[in-house]
Amino acid sequence: MTHTRYAFVKANWHSAIVDQALTGFLELIPADQVDVFDAPGALEMPLLAKDLAKTGKYGAIACCALVVDGGIYRHDFVAQAVVDGLVRVGLDTDVPVLSVSLTPHSYQETDFHNAAFAEHFVKKGREAANAALQIVKTRAAIKGA
């Protein structure tokens, strides 16, 4: 039996937190079915997702980033551009692209926030894996109908 392959793209900014989403993702989808890719930051994820989708290897692609207010730029614009790009990639390539790109209202580099967000990302990774499994199953049912 052939298993569906999944791609998991993670932004390197705040990697100690972002990498926890992969931990949650792998709780539901076996590691041998997941190819993991690093992106320099959130803005690079849509292009990488498009490259991965074009290979035809993946049933779904999950992209994960933590976009925070760095005080220099409008992080909400960055987050919106990332999500818009990921949705467009999915529609343009016919491969589901799931976003675990989160933008907290407030984030401080404190032990409390780092621990809380790391825990939250594990949960979000599980949710992304569940969504990936569900969309692959639903699309297979539609094609088989």
28 by Cβ neighbours in 10 Å (0-12 / 13-18 / 19+) ranks as middle
- What values do phi and psi take at 8, rounded to 5? -130, 115
Q: 3-class SS at 32?
A: helix
5 is catalytic: no
Question: What values do phi and psi take at 139, rounded to 5?
Answer: -65, -35
Other Cβ atoms closer than 10 A to 81: 14
Q: Where are the beta strands (DSSP E) in 40-103?
A: 58-66, 97-102
Which of 5, 74, 88, 139 does the annotation list as catalytic?
A: 74
Residue 28 structure tokens: 């539901």
The residues assigned a catalytic role are: 74
